[in-house]
Amino acid sequence: MGNRVKYKRRYDRLPTVLLYILPAMIPLVVFWIYPILRTIFLSFTNWDYISPTYKIVGLKNYLSLFKNPRFFEALWHTLVFTMGTLFPTIIFGLILALLLVRAFRGSGVFKFILFSPWITPTVAISIVWSWIYKVDGGIANTILTGLGLEPLKWINSSETAMLSVIIVTVWKSLGYAMIFYLSALEKVPGALYEASALDGAGKWRQFIDITLPSISPTTFFLMIITMVNSLQAYDQIQILTQGGPAGSTRTLLYMYYQLGFNEYNMGQATGVAVIMIIITVILSLIQFRGSEKWVHY
Amino acid sequence: MKKVLAVLLAAFLLAGCGSSAAPAGQASSGEPVEIEFWLAQGNNVMDLVNEEIKNFNESQDQYHVTAVQQENYVKTFSNLQAAISGKVAPDVVLLDTAPARQLFEKKALVPFDEFQKADPDFNADDFYAVYADQGKYDDGTTFARPWYGTIQIAYYSVKAFEDAGVDPESIKSWQDLVAVGDKFKSAGYQYAWEPMGGDSKNLIDAAFANGAKVLSDDGKTVLINSPEWVEVWESIRTWIHVYVLIQTKWNGIDDWVYWYDTIDDVIEGRAAGYTGSPVDSVDFDFEVIRPMEQFGWNGNVSMPWAQALMLCMPAGNTEAEQQGAYEFIKFLTNPENQAAYTMLTTYPAANKKVTEVPEYKEFLEKNPVAAVLLSQSEHASIYPVDPTGGKILDELNIAAEKIEIEGVSAQEALDEAQANAQAALDEALAG
């Protein structure tokens, strides 16, 4: 009897609850949940992007993808790009934040300069970097030869094209990571450092035992955001390499675009999109599980 | 309350039925039928098209045409798909061949055959076969009429050939060029030639000159690693990477940097010539850079890939609108309007009778590109319909980059491309 009253009270409040969440739910359903469900549905069809009708083809699109060596190349490139951008962004973002956390004359200017790539459109950045990467007369090779090193072909070779795109992406994201770390570092209680200093801890020990654990929630947040951004990267690849040379920088998102809008194979394209969602979920879950051991709230 | 709602609903439905009873776009008596024309062209071309539309509208009182400028061909196609779904398709649309064919297969285009039969002025032989055939389906049905073509041609530096003591008339094939390649290098030019990068088109052109085919006659086998392909692409790899006689610019940039860099190499004396678009010539001084046909292969005449831009009539419009669309297409493709278009853009006209227009005759004397395009259009190739939706060409592009940029052997690159393309074709044919 008591339970029934409790349930009744709970359901009595349901219309009010729905009313409150409705403004948020409408755009969420229209622009997020429905498109995702629709994408999943389309991945089981043979829709060609033109016909008003389509057939349900079951798992055919997925089986075709898994038989296609270009799909596995794109998957590998995606993982290389994601990992290649994730860790350098986190590590160098933290190093920059550590260098700039103590205010000094002009530190504000440095912070602004370092953050500015993040707010500059990727297309503009990519065009400038394409000049930097020019084999003859580009700044990158001028620096290398100035240091007595062999010039590289950068985006002109399948051996260095992915590295080139990763460098641009990391460079763009560094300022973003730095800003979050600056905020996190400023919130670490100074008393912890004082107490550890009294116990004889050096700077390195303080960094490992106090700083890193204290900023671990920020690190975790940045890892998730950077990973998702990397999986969604398209502009810089399209501008710098167009997936080349010889397909060496084609990622899953690039393949999705190519299948959907060049080949009008929307069934397989949405299949790639669903696989990307699954990869994102798996990588996030791994990070969430792992975070239980190293993130300290 | 429910009754009131039911009455209102019934009235609403009846109103809807009433409005759908009259087909969209049908003109009321006395008024001209409205014809909508979708096309992606630059502003200067749009000025010409609008002038031609004005002439058409003034030449008769049955139809009134309006042009709707689109962003590009891809956007035109996606907008058209939405319009077809929403049953508000335009009456005439300019499309690439592949999407036009795709739409026809979905019964989204009106065939031209009945209109052409009823048209006493129509003569199929008036049009260059290489462009007109691209608008014909396998069963011979005409699903589109070419407005203009696009075909790459060769450009050479007059000074480079003079410096090297080479007569441009003597260069008919890649072998002829390579035979005198060292003369250009001795004269201080880094490269004898630069085929245009960005995709595999120029390499495909060269292979076509060697008799290479993309698909077998039954359409079931991809032939892109046949000896005809391998011979040509391996030769080009050798000329790029071993003899350093030619080069292809590739910087992956999603704009026209590589294109202009290639032209600059010729203008600034680093290369003796290049292969590019007819449109490049708009800014050329023909005393400095002159056009010529693309090179053949080992005594075979050149057979470059010719593409056509197609005028199509989307289905779903009224008979009056379809007739108006045909009349307008007929007007756009008449020799006079074809001449005006090709003189403005340099793209080759689809209608052979353009050469009978006095203004064009005069233009031909002044513009050598126009003459080269006319002769090149007489011997060119049609890239076959790709049942995979473009995967074969994509594999060729990847293989071309491997050969041109990485120096991978043609056999290896083309074997890999063929295997992937064949798998895609098998899947496409299996449905």
3-state secondary structure of B65: strand
Q: Which of A22-26, B75-79, B97-101, B349-353 has the lowest mean pLDDT?
A: B75-79
- Is residue B250's pLDDT more than 90? no
**What is the pLDDT confidence band of residue B297, given thresholds at 50, 70 and 90?**
very high
- Of the candidates B35, B17, B16, the one whose C-alpha atom is nearest the C-alpha of residue B25 is B35
B403 secondary structure, DSSP code: I
Residue-level pLDDT at B249:
84
* Whether pLDDT at B10 is above 70: no
CB-CB contact of B307 with B384 (8 Å): no
Residues of chain A found within 8 Å of residue B253, distances taken between Cβ atoms: 127, 130, 239-240, 242
Contacts of A165 (CB under 8 A, 6+ apart): A81, A155, A233, A236, A237, A240, A241, A249
Whether residue A38 has pLDDT greater than 50: yes
Share of chain B above pLDDT 90, in %: 70
Contact status of A269 with chain B (Cβ, < 8 Å):
no
Would you call B299 an interface residue with chain A, using a CB distance cutoff of 8 Å?
Answer: no
Q: Whole-angstrom Cα distance, residue B73 to residue B319? A: 26
Closest to A282 measured CA to CA, from A274, A294, A293: A274
Query: What pLDDT score does A271 carry?
Result: 96
What pLDDT is attached to residue B20? Answer: 37
Residue B12 has pLDDT above 70, yes or no: no
Whether A5 shows a pLDDT value over 80: the answer reads no
User: Do the chains contact at A127 and B420, CB–CB below 8 Å?
Assistant: no
Say yes or no for a CB contact (<8 Å) between A239 and B423.
Answer: no
Mutate: best of B405, B412, B414, B420, partner A, most A CBs <10 A = B405
The pLDDT score that the predictor gives to residue B28 is: 52
Contact B146, B134 (CB under 8 A): yes
Secondary structure (DSSP) of B128-185 = -HHHHGGGB-TTS-B--EEEEEEE-EEEEEHHHHHHHT--GGG--BHHHHHHTHHHHH
What's the pLDDT score for residue B14?
35
Which of B7-21, B133-147, B405-419 has the weakest average pLDDT? Answer: B7-21
Judge whether B121 and B330 are in contact, CB under 8 Å: yes
* Model pLDDT, residue B73: 78
DSSP string of B306-319? Answer: EEEEEEE-BTTS-H
Residue B228 CB contacts under 8 Å (≥ 6 apart), including other chains: B207, B210, B211, B212, B213
Read off the DSSP letter of residue B195. Answer: -
* Cα A132 from Cα A146, distance rounded (Å): 15
Mean pLDDT within A166-177: 94
Answer whether residue B29 shows pLDDT above 70. no
pLDDT at residue B270 above 90? Answer: yes
% of chain B with per-residue pLDDT over 70 = 92
Is it the case that residue B13 has pLDDT exceeding 60? no
Q: What is the mean pLDDT of residues A233-243?
A: 87
The yes-or-no verdict on residue B88 having pLDDT over 60 is yes
Return the amino acid letter for B384.
Answer: P
Residue B251, pLDDT > 70, answer: no
Task: Band the pLDDT of B255: cuts 50, 70, 90.
Answer: low
Residue of chain A nearest B386, judged by CA positions:
A263
The mean predicted confidence, pLDDT, of chain B is 89
pLDDT band of residue B1 (cuts 50, 70, 90) is very low
pLDDT at A176 over 80: yes
Tell me what the pLDDT averaged over chain A comes to: 89
User: Which of A216-220, B29-33, B189-193 is most confident?
Assistant: B189-193
Mean pLDDT, residues A202-220 taken together: 91
Within 8 A of A127 by CB-CB distance, chain B residues are 253, 255
| Of B418, B120, A191, A235, nearest in space to B410 by CA | B418
Nearest-neighbour CA in chain B from A126: distance (Å): 9
Average pLDDT over residues A236-262: 88
How many Å apart are CA B262 and CA B264, to the nearest integer?
A: 5
DSSP-based three-state secondary structure for B203? helix
**pLDDT tens, residue by residue, B137-187:** 989 999 999 999 999 999 999 999 999 999 999 999 999 999 999 999 999
pLDDT given at position B9: 41
d(C-alpha A6, C-alpha A11), whole Å: 9
Q: Which tens digit of pLDDT belongs to each residue from B374-391?
A: 899 889 999 988 888 889
- Distance between CA atoms of B239 and B232, rounded to whole angstroms? 11
User: How many helices (H) and strands (E) in chain B?
Assistant: 18, 8
B211-233 burial, b at 16+ Cβ within 10 Å, e below that, comes to: ebbbbeeeeeebbbbbebbbbbb
Question: Measured between beta carbons, which residues in chain A are less than 8 angstroms from residue B387?
Answer: none
For the residues of chain A, what is the DSSP string, one character each? -HHHHHHHHHHHTHHHHHHHHHHHHHHHIIIIIHHHHHHHHHTTB---SS-S---B-TTHHHHHHHH-HHHHHHHHHHHHHHHHHHHHHHHHHHHHHHHHSS--TTHHHHHHHHHHHHHS-HHHHHHHHHHHT-TTT-HHHHHHHHTTPPP--GGGSTTTHHHHHHHHHHHHHHHHHHHHHHHHHHTS-HHHHHHHHHTT--HHHHIIIIIHHHTHHHHHHHHHHHHHHHHT--HHHHHHTTT-STTTT--HHHHHHIIIIIS--HHHHHHHHHHHHHHHHHHHHHHHHHHHHH---
- pLDDT of B200 above 80: yes
pLDDT at position B306 is 93
Tokens at A5, concatenated: 């009253």
Residues 6+ apart with CB under 8 A from B84: A50, A52, B103, B108, B314, B315, B316
DSSP string across A242-256: TT-STTTT--HHHHH
Asked if residue B19 has pLDDT above 60, the reply is no
A127/B253 touch (CB, cutoff 8 Å), yes or no: yes
Half-sphere exposure of B272 (CA within 13 A, CB side): 29
Task: Give CA–CA dist A249/A240, Å, rounded.
Answer: 10
In which residue are the tokens 């069934």 written?
A267
Given a cut of 70, whether residue B284 has pLDDT beyond it is yes
DSSP-derived pairing of the beta strands B306-312 and B145-151: antiparallel
CB contact at 8 A, B155 and B287? no
A130 touches chain B (CB under 8 A): yes
Contact criterion met (CB below 8 Å) for B166 and B183? yes
Q: How many CA atoms are closer than 13 Å to the CA of B158, on its beta-carbon side?
A: 8
- The minimal CB distance from B420 to the residues A52, A70, A161 is found for A70
Terminal Cα distance for chain B, rounded:
54
Q: Which residue has the tokens 């100035």?
A: A146
Contact status, residue B128 vs residue B347, Cβ threshold 8 Å: no
Task: Tell me the residue type at A217.
Answer: P
Assess whether pLDDT exceeds 60 at residue B320. yes
Q: Does A68 touch chain B (CB under 8 A)?
A: yes
Peptide bond just before B168 cis, omega within 30 deg: no
| A69–B contact, CB cutoff 8 A | yes
Question: Which of A264, A265, A268 is the mutation pick for testing B, counting most B CBs within 10 A?
Answer: A264
Percent of chain A with pLDDT over 90: 54
Say what the pLDDT of residue B11 is: 40
The neighbouring-strand residues paired with B308 are: B149
- Alpha-helical regions (H) of B187-307: 201-209, 227-241, 257-267
C-beta atoms of B102 and A51 within 8 A: no
**CA dist., res. B399 & res. B412, Å (int):** 9
Instruction: Give the pLDDT of residue A147.
Output: 94
pLDDT at B24: 38
Q: Spell B321-339 as b/e; 16+ CB within 10 A means b.
A: bbbbbbbbbbbbbbbbbbb
- Say which amino acid occupies A264: Y
pLDDT band for position A246 (cuts 50, 70, 90) = confident
pLDDT of residue B3: 41
* Model confidence band, residue A98 (pLDDT cutoffs 50, 70, 90): very high
Per-residue confidence band for A200, with pLDDT thresholds at 50, 70 and 90: confident
Task: Write down the pLDDT at residue B128.
Answer: 92
